[in-house]
Amino acid sequence: MRVGRIPYINCYPVYAAIDRGLVPLDGTLVDGVPSALNRRMQEGTLDVSVVSAVEYARDSRRYLLLPDLAISCDGPVRSVLLFSRRPATELGGARLVVSRSSMTSVALLELLFEQRWRCRPSFVPGDAELEDLRSAREEVHDARLVIGDAALFLRAGPRRAARDGAEPREYPYVYDLGEEWKRWTGLPFVFAVWVAQRSAPAARALRVHADLVASRDWGLAHLDLLARQAAGYTGFDTAVCAEYLAGLDYGLSYGHLAGLTEFFRRLVAAGRVPDGTLAFLPAA
């Protein structure tokens, strides 16, 4: 079984025990950014993977959801951020660079602009890489959507500037998309889900699911250890990594499903995905 993994620190809790050999995985891990894993699942070159929530909605007939596994938030997510040089409601016609790495974040941002902020920027595909941000190679735009570890890094800049008494940052307006969704709907937001190909052998997919859940449970019990690991990898303060990981949820409860189905409902109404159903990997 070929099992996809996103190499961002937000996935540390799900794979922590597998990486340490504490939970054996009945499969081979394949790393990739969300868009790459989405594409490989579309092509059938992965059997089980974490994917953008929108990827499931785009072709729900291809996939089965793995129960009780997701990356979600109930308020701020801290790693999916819109950085802007002026208020979001004043970005009509502005050039907004959006990450090509996450379909879900872009789809949510489109809904926010159309239905909440009531303006239409010009979306331009692009990416902000952590290495570019660290070396100051990143170009400043009117606004940009940044996800993952790069978003945490860019968000930390203003904190450091305020602490050091530095000049105001290049992006004075920062919008956390998880927090904006919560204010808008009152619901949690699910950014990513784990899915299996419907064509994958059910018994083996179930074993992979059990391995992932066991590893996730171990990871959630050792978030302090994972925060130190994340700090060593990213260079962020351990406290920042701990706050970030503790603010995420890796289950798929009734509340998360309510947020997920509301997001899908809005996407269907906007004509962005076909209508579909939530179908789960059946228990043995």
For 199-234, write each residue's pLDDT tens digit: 999 999 999 999 999 999 999 999 999 999 999 999
Q: Under 8 Å CB-to-CB from 251, ≥6 apart: which residues?
A: 68, 69, 70, 72
| 47 token code pair | 């059997």
For 77-120, write each residue's pLDDT tens digit: 999 999 999 999 999 999 999 987 788 999 999 999 999 999 99
Residue 134 above 80 pLDDT? no
pLDDT for 162 equals: 41
**Mean pLDDT throughout 143-147?**
93
Closest CA to 219 of 77, 82, 4, 15: 15
Q: Give me the amino acid identity at 57.
A: A
For 48-88, write each residue's pLDDT tens digit: 999 999 999 999 999 999 999 999 999 999 999 999 999 99
**Mean pLDDT throughout 135-159?**
75
In the chain, what are the domain boundaries?
2-72+189-269, 80-185
Q: Looking at the domain covering 80-185, what would its CATH class be?
A: alpha beta
CATH fold match for the domains 2-72+189-269 and 80-185: yes
Yes or no: say if 37 and 43 are a contact pair by the CB < 8 Å rule: no
pLDDT for 101 equals: 78
User: Using CA of residue 238, residue 152, residue 171, residue 138, what is the dihedral sign?
Assistant: positive
Q: Under 8 Å CB-to-CB from 244, ≥6 apart: which residues?
A: 9, 10, 78, 79, 152, 230
Q: Report the SS3 class of residue 143.
A: strand
Query: Model pTM greater than 0.75?
Result: yes
Options 3.40.190.10, 3.30.450.40, 3.40.50.300, 3.40.50.1820; CATH for 2-72+189-269 is: 3.40.190.10
**Distance between CA atoms of 205 and 214, rounded to whole angstroms?**
14
Cβ contacts of 197-202, under 8 Å, gap ≥ 24: 197/41, 197/44, 197/46, 197/47, 197/48, 197/62, 197/63, 197/64, 198/61, 198/62, 198/63, 198/64, 199/44, 200/1, 200/47, 200/48, 202/281, 202/282, 202/284
Residue with tokens 């190499």: 7
- Compute the mean pLDDT over every residue in the chain, rounded to the nearest whole number: 90
Q: Under 8 Å CB-to-CB from 165, ≥6 apart: which residues?
A: none
Residues in the chain: 284
pLDDT for 61 equals: 95
Residue 268 above 60 pLDDT? yes
Yes or no: say if 4 and 37 are a contact pair by the CB < 8 Å rule: yes
Yes or no: say if 6 and 29 are a contact pair by the CB < 8 Å rule: no
Closest CA to 233 of 2, 1, 9: 9
**Which band of pLDDT confidence, cut at 50, 70 and 90, is reported for residue 183?**
very high
Question: What phi and psi values does residue 216 have, to the nearest 5 degrees?
Answer: -60, -45
pLDDT for 161 equals: 37
pLDDT for 130 equals: 47
Where do the DSSP E strands lie in 24-115?
Answer: 28-31, 48-52, 63-73, 80-84, 95-99
